[in-house]
Every structure is written in C-alpha cells, then in structure tokens.
Structure 1
Amino acid sequence: MGLFGFGKKKHQDEDAAEAKAENKDETAAQAGDDAQAEAAEPHYPSEAVSEYEGRGEEYGPWDVNDENLIDYDMHLDLGAYYLPYLQGLMLRLKASRATQQILGATITYGSSSLEIEAFAAPKSSGLWDDMRADLLEANANATEQPGVFGTEVRLPVQLKGGKVFETRIVGVDGPRWMLRGIFSGKAAVLPADPETVALNHFFADVVVDRGEEPLAPRDLIPMHAPVAPAERKAAKAAAEGETAGKEHLKDIPDKPEGPFDSDQQVEVKTTLSRGPMFSEVR
C-alpha cells in the first residue's frame, strides 16, 4: 500500500506540474497575443476617407488633454508638439534666420520625408478646410482626394532643372489647433509602401500641446529646442524634490516669500544635449 500510495502521489505531482506548466504557457501565449493585438491596433483609418473622424478617441494626432491620450512619456518635446520615437529616422529643425525661432520639424525616413507644422485654429471651427482651399486656389496643378487622414492635397512641385517633386499634404483639426503634414518621396505616392505606413503611423502618434497663449488663427504654435524624455524626467524629479517634505509650510500664516538675499538664491540651468540628428536649417 505504501509503495502504491507513493507512486500515486508522484503521478499526481507530475500531473499538477504539467498542468501548471501548460497554464503558464497559455498565460504567456495570451500575453503575447495581447501585445500583438495592442501593437496591431490602428492608429488611423486603414481606408481612404473624405472626413477624418475619431481623432482623440480612436486615432491621432492627439491633444495633451484628450481623455484617451496615448502614452507619450518617450516622445521628444518640441514645445508645440511631442514627436514619437521611430528607429532609423533623422530629424531636422527649421528655424527663422532672423530670430532663430524654431518653426517646424522635418523627419526623414528612408527615401521619404515628413514636414510637420502646428497652427493655432479658431475655437468654433477647424482650419484645414480653408487652408486646403487656399492651396488649391494658389496652385493650378494641385488636386484633392480622400486619404487616411481625410481629404488631402496632392501637390507636384517643380524643382530646378525641370524635375517634378510629388508631395502629399494632410491636415488634421484638433481643439484650437491644426496639425499639417507634408509627405514626400515614397510616402507621397505609394500608399502601401513600408515607408508610407511608418510615417503615417508617426504622424498619427504626434501629441499636440496648444497651450493657453493667445494666438491668431494660422499662427504657428511656439516651439522650442528639443527636450529628450530623460531630461523631462530629470526636471520633473528636481521640481518634485524642491517641494518634498515642505508641504506643512504652505499653511503657515503670513509666511514670507523667499529668497531673502542673493546668497540664498539658486539658479538652475538645464543644458539641452543634442544628438547628431538635431540641427537647425535655414
């Protein structure tokens, strides 16, 4: 009986171990499926549409105050908007020669590029319809057609020497802003090309920060030099460290405001580290 009982327990332990292993495999497989499903979630409509619907709910570009905002902790902060990460991209910043104010960003990926600009827009209506109409009126060769971000403009640009450069211009309206993207290269003419898909995905994951500054419609939303995610986290940690453990002081009546003299003043300067991908042009 003792031997048979031991053998029975051994088989039960083996069966339990196998069941546990199977459950672990199933859990891992489910987690993998969930991760793939999350990665496969659409960031913009898969088919061309005339009206772009679902921005801020299902699709981007996003606003910093959207309820369903994506996680943008690892985005690059440029002031007017946050740019997502894309392996292999090159980033150039367009700046004014006179003031050195940053005006926009151009992303190059493979043989394609995407120029991004953020404009202030009226509270009551969007801006893209009017801007698109102006493009069509000013350029006889411009045409409009449905696209993954709604109605877009196809504009051929003639370069020196007679070469024609095709561009695809899209615009998405958000709360008091409009984000414009100018695609060129393969991303302008080959809808199914991997470069087009990657840059469409990139544009859809941009997060816009309009700010509260009064701006006239069509004014560019102010930008600043790039602030990397690590720099943002360090600045946030430093700010939180300055107030940590001092919460009780806020309730002291007639508490004087510091600093009291120059010896107590501390100036914190943050130097932006720029990698080789960041450069101002023009």
Structure 2
Amino acid sequence: MFGRRRREESPARAEEIEQAEEIEQAGQAERVPARESGPWDSGEPYSERERVDLGGMRLPVDPGFEVQLNLAGDQIVGAVVMADESALQVHAFAAPKRNGIWAEVRDELAEGVKSAGGTAEEREGPFGVELAAEVPADGVAQPVRYIGVDGPRWFLRAVISGRAARDAGAAATLESVIRDIVVVRGDEPMAPKEAIELRLPPEARQAMEQQAPEGDVPDLNPFQRGPEIAEIR
C-alpha cells in the first residue's frame, strides 16, 4: 500500500519524502540511548532528590554529608563530599561534542600518579573502566579510585579516597552521589578540559549579602576548601 501511494506522488514530492526519511534515520542512528542512571545532563530527565545548586553542577546531599569546595584562585572548580571517613571529589569539564576524553585523562592521571611514586592500574567498576591507585601522602600510600564519566559535551571526574576507596559498603554511599549528580554544561563555547565554573548556591549568596555590613565585603564562606587530588593539566 505504501509503495503504491508513493508512486502516485509527483517525482519532486517523492524525492522530498525520501530525503526526509533519510534525515530521520540518520538522526535516530546518532541519538544516544536513554541511560538508566546518572550522572545526568541538565537537559535530560533525572530523578528528584535534594541537591545543592552550584551553577554548573547540582550536587546531591544527604544528612551527615559535609560539603567543601575546590578553589582555583577565586574560581570554584570542584566540590568534595565528606561522609563516613571517606571523601568524594568531583569536577566537571567541557569535552568535545562527539568524542569522550576519559581514556586520555585516565592515561594522564596514571602517569601523574606513577611520577609521584605511586601505582595505578585500570579495572572495571560500576561506571566502566576506572583507575585504582596508591598515592603517596606523608610517606604512606593511600588508596584512591579515579572514576570518569563522558557526558554530552562534558566530562565528570570523581575521586574517591579514604575508607570508601577499599570498603564496598562505604563506597556505595558515594557512588550513589555520583549517579545523581546533574551537570549543567551551558551553551557557551569552551575548550576541551576547561573546568565548568561553579558558584555558591543562591541561599548561601543571599546569607552573605544579608550579613555583610553596608559597604563592607563579607567574610563568610559556608564551605571550606577541599583537598586537591591530581588535577587535569
């Protein structure tokens, strides 16, 4: 039936229909299948839970979590979640539209760890291939897990240290945080590996403005500077 109707169309109309079908098929081939868990892009549906709005990242929080911020000068570039003698450090970076960068970043991290006298090896984890490392700190090798997730035009790097680097039960809590992070990439052009800038949540900025004397710069930071673990260069 469909073939007969198409033959009855004018040649120009038939050509338009064929072109439209080709474009639709190409779009379906390039479309990324829906994921079952995050981290999420802000443009896709994601589960509801309490999150701190840091601008370029919406970070899940639960009772008992302590949140710290990573600073590069005056710029907020990452966050750290402290829980149960463990730490989860997360940074979001710009990435190419079509190509992931985790494999490249993983090689850079492994090289950096080994250059510092540590060890690093790849292994399969809940988010795919990750890097299991032993990083020297104060003369003692500390276990660290490097996790990377390639998203649409962004890359999320997560670093788990402390008890959760070895304890599966403690790790599950921080892994659930990673799964519910929402990355807000934005539409502005950014170079690959450029940090997606974060900012204080609206309620924290409002508190700072309310407590600041008129004409004075407030000296209030509801977060602390988090530990730095192997930056991307």
Q: TM (normalized to structure 2)?
A: 0.71
| 1:55/1:204 CA distance change after superposition, 3 Å | farther
Deviation at 1:96, TM superposition (A): 2.4
Amino acid at match of 1:197: A
- Verify: 1:70 aligned to 2:47, yes or no: yes
- Verify: 1:196 aligned to 2:171, yes or no: yes
Q: Deviations over 1:182-217 (max 9, x none)?
A: 0001211122x1x21111001110000000111100
Q: Match for 1:58 among 36, 39, 42? A: 36
SS in 2 for 1:173: strand
- Verify: 1:151 aligned to 2:129, yes or no: yes
| 1:136/1:281 CA distance change after superposition, 3 Å | closer
Mark the runs of 5 or more structure 1 residues left unpaired by the alignment.
1-53, 232-269
The equivalent residue for 1:221 is: 196
| 1:190/1:114 CA distance change after superposition, 3 Å | same
Amino acid at match of 1:139: V
| 1:215/1:135 CA distance change after superposition, 3 Å | same
The equivalent residue for 1:170 is: 147
Q: Match for 2:108 among 134, 137, 140? A: 134
* Structure showing the higher strand proportion among its residues: 2
Number of equivalent positions: 182
CA distance in 1, matches of 2:199, 2:107: 30
Aligned identity (percent) is 35
- Verify: 1:271 aligned to 2:200, yes or no: no
CA distance in 2, matches of 1:56, 1:85: 25
| 1:56/1:225 CA distance change after superposition, 3 Å | farther
Question: In the alignment, is the contact (CA less than 8 A) between 2:113 and 2:135 conserved in 1?
Answer: no
CA distance in 1, matches of 2:207, 2:43: 26
The equivalent residue for 2:95 is: 121
Amino acid at match of 1:159: A
Deviation at 1:102, TM superposition (A): 0.7
Two-structure CA RMSD over aligned residues (Å): 2.4
The equivalent residue for 2:65 is: 89
Deviation at 1:278, TM superposition (A): 1.9
CA distance in 1, matches of 2:196, 2:221: 25
SS in 2 for 1:87: coil
Deviation at 1:272, TM superposition (A): 4.1
Question: In the alignment, is the contact (CA less than 8 A) between 1:55 and 1:62 conserved in 2?
Answer: no
The equivalent residue for 2:86 is: 112
SS in 1 for 2:99: coil
The equivalent residue for 2:181 is: 206
Deviation at 1:163, TM superposition (A): 1.3
Amino acid at match of 2:201: P
Larger radius of gyration: 1
Q: TM (normalized to structure 1)?
A: 0.60
